[in-house]
Chains A and B, each alone.
Chain A
Amino acid sequence: MKSLFRPAQRPDRTLLTGHRSLVHAIERRGVLRGALSLGALTMLTGCDWKTPDAVEKALRQVSAFNDGVQAAIFDPNKLAPTYPASMVLKPPKFNAYYPIEQLKPVDGQSWRLELTGRIDNKAYWTAQQIAALPEQEEIIRHICVEGWDYIGQWSGVPLRTFLERVGADLRAKYVNFKTADDYPSSIDMATALHPQTLLATKYAGETLAAPFGYPLRLRTSTKLGFKNPKWITAIEVTNTYTPGFWEKAGFNWFSGI
């Protein structure tokens, strides 16, 4: 069959012969250049192209600089949009550094919340004591560093209320968390005091289910999902920076949204 791309009228044959040497020259150069750029591309994106250590170090320094930029962008009074209950995803998404089969549920009866660092009253808290604290509900968007998101309905005591009650130094720089699944995490004090930052005990009006952090988890509206530790066992108020689980692996610490 005749090609659709073949012109109805062929060009004059002499045109080709007259320019044959030129066409060949272009082709030779083209192949050479093509080979060179292909070679360069495989170097750039080859299967095990790993960022060199010195470069990774420099990139982590930029990431630390970005922590400061994000703290400057963060508006402590800006509230995240909230949504109607009809948009809430039930149940929420399970996410951890291990699959759900390896989940170790926490026993709420023997569970204790430990307080350390720059806090006046370091007495531990039981689940019943925390349940007696004033409760606030937030229907907010959860955004994962990977790019997916969902709307969740969280309730619990605002972290600010809790920190005030135990006499924490609210001018300290960081609030650190330890968890039952060995997932240390830390956030800046400004975010800890944000009006939508909760120590959540409920989801969609019911006691948290085991996979989502029972009996106590952090839920902040202004940070990426991985900055919300679940199954919290200890809270520390400190001026010493401690990277969290994913930050040690290279993720950005502030991770504000």
Chain B
Amino acid sequence: MSKVRTAAAPPPVAARSRRLHPAPVRVMHWINALAMIVMIGSGWGIYNDSVIVSGLHFGTWRIGSWAAESLLWHFAGMWLLAINGTIYLIYGVVSGRFRERLLPIRAGEFVRTVRDTLHFHIAHEDLTVYNAVQKVLYIVVILAGISQVVTGLAIWKPIQFSGLVDLLGGFQSARGLHFLGMAVIVGFLVVHVALALLVPRTLWAMLTGGPRLASRTTSRAQP
């Protein structure tokens, strides 16, 4: 019944004026950026007192001048990251944004995009469509973010959640995975920020909303 009505009536105004990055996505993106910087910087400060990779110290690259301060930052930032991240995940699923922007991923397209990128053909003409590599990177970083919350919970409360610690292969293993998750996110950040600076329109789009999208309602109305 709804199908008939949608096909007959013109698409609602809200659907027609939908932007690439709706306001909630932009707000959550920048809150997440802040939370990530706090978590990474304070995490490096905490890490320095008991290093995982021998010889690797973060020195002055840290938030909080010593362990106590870094820990205060980390355990305040965790709320921002976890609450904002949870709302983002619910929004992404419920609004259909994840399915619309991140799927499907075709292997052939992935290989082609990697090849093009290595030849410095970075195609970003159409901001509204993510290429296969972008899709994979976004999915990886979202999973890494979820993983950080889970491994973080395990090393914060290894006795209360001892089953989770066992699942992760023990306390030091959970710590290693927490460190690895950080490394994945930092790796993503380097590429993400570099590309945003190379193609400033993408950065601008995350501030102002970006181009308007073709209506999703219309295309779905045709069975």
Interface residues, chain A, with chain B CB atoms under 8 Å away: 26, 29-30, 33-34, 37, 44-51, 56, 58-60, 62-63, 66, 70, 73-75, 78, 80-81, 141, 143-149, 221-222, 246, 249-252, 256-257
B-chain residues with CB within 8 Å of residue A146 when the two chains form the complex: 49-50, 67
CB of A80 within 8 A of CB of B72, answer no
Q: How far is the CB of A211 from chain B (nearest CB, A)?
A: 20
| Complex CA distance for A246 and B68, rounded to whole angstroms | 9
Take A59-B72, A75-B160, A147-B50 as given contacts and tell me if A45 and B171 are in contact as well, using a CB distance cutoff of 8 Å.
no
CB of B157 within 8 A of CB of A45, answer no
CB of B171 within 8 A of CB of A141, answer yes
Q: How far is the CB of A103 from chain B (nearest CB, A)?
A: 21
CB-based nearest A residue for B156: A257
Dominant SS at the B interface? helix
CB-based nearest B residue for A5: B118
Take A144-B50, A256-B160 as given contacts and tell me if A51 and B61 are in contact as well, using a CB distance cutoff of 8 Å.
no
CB of A46 within 8 A of CB of B162, answer no
Q: Taking the complex as formed, is B69 at the interface, i.e. its CB lies under 8 A from any CB of chain A? A: yes
A-chain residues with CB within 8 Å of residue B61 when the two chains form the complex: 45
CB of A73 within 8 A of CB of B157, answer yes
Within 8 Å by CB of A62, from B68, B69, B76, lies B76
Q: Taking the complex as formed, is B21 at the interface, i.e. its CB lies under 8 A from any CB of chain A? A: no
| Complex CA distance for A60 and B63, rounded to whole angstroms | 15
CB of B200 within 8 A of CB of A145, answer no
Q: How far is the CB of B197 from chain A (nearest CB, A)?
A: 5
CB of A143 within 8 A of CB of B50, answer no
CB of A59 within 8 A of CB of B76, answer yes
Q: Taking the complex as formed, is B37 at the interface, i.e. its CB lies under 8 A from any CB of chain A? A: yes
User: Which of A141, A147, A222, A250 counts the most B-chain CB atoms under 10 A from its CB?
Assistant: A147
Extra contacts besides A58-B76, A63-B75, A246-B68 (19): CB < 8 Å: A26-B198, A30-B198, A33-B197, A44-B37, A44-B63, A45-B62, A46-B60, A56-B72, A60-B72, A73-B157, A78-B159, A81-B162, A143-B158, A145-B67, A147-B46, A250-B69, A252-B72, A252-B75, A257-B159
